[in-house]
Amino acid sequence: IKKEKKKAEDPSYDQKLPLFKGTKDGKDVYVMPVRGKGLWDAIWGFVAVDESMTIQGVFFDHKGETPGLGAEIKQRYFMDDFQGESFLDNGQFSGIAVAKGNNDPKNEDKSDNEVDALAGATITGDGLASMLRKDVQKYVPFFKSLQN
C-alpha cells in the first residue's frame, strides 16, 4: 500500500486498489486496506464494509503512537465503535470522523458518521479519520457500480 501510494503521487499513474471479498453471515463483505499518518509515524488498517458501505469491522495498528493515548487505536474497545457506521450520508460519501464531544460516548447513533475520540490522542484521531476519508473514498465508484 505504501509503495502504491507513492506511485500514485504521479497524476498519470493508474493506481491499483487492492480489495478483498469474503462473506459474513451469508452477506458479501469487502475489505479495504488503509494507510496514513498518526502523530509520530505510520498508522494502517483494514476496513470491512458491506455493499452499502456500512462498516462490518475494522482493524487498526501503528508504528509508534504514544502508549495509553494514540496507541489505543489498536484496542478492540475503540475499533468496535466503528461497526455499523456508514461512510455514506444521504447517499454521498462523507467518511467517518473521530470526534471529541460527539455527545454519543456509547456510540449508539450509527447515522452521525462519527465515533468518539480517544482522550489525549487528537492528532492520531485526526490522522485516522483523514486516512479513512482519503483511502476509502477511492473505492466509491466500485460500490456505486454494485448498486446498479
Q: Determine, yes or no, domain membership for 45.
A: yes
Q: Determine, yes or no, domain membership for 111.
A: yes
pLDDT recorded at residue 102: 66
Q: What are the 10-residue block averages of pLDDT along the chain, 148 residues in total?
A: 84 89 94 95 96 96 92 95 93 91 71 86 95 95 88
pLDDT recorded at residue 40: 93
Give the total number of structural domains in the chain. 1
For the beta carbon of residue 145, count every other beta carbon within 10 angstroms.
Answer: 8
**49 lies in which domain range?**
2-141
pLDDT recorded at residue 46: 97
Q: Determine, yes or no, domain membership for 148.
A: no
Q: Determine, yes or no, domain membership for 123.
A: yes
Q: Determine, yes or no, domain membership for 147.
A: no
Q: Supply the pTM of this predicted model.
A: 0.88
pLDDT recorded at residue 147: 82
Contacts of 62 (CB under 8 A, 6+ apart): 38, 41, 42, 43, 44, 70, 71, 73, 74, 124
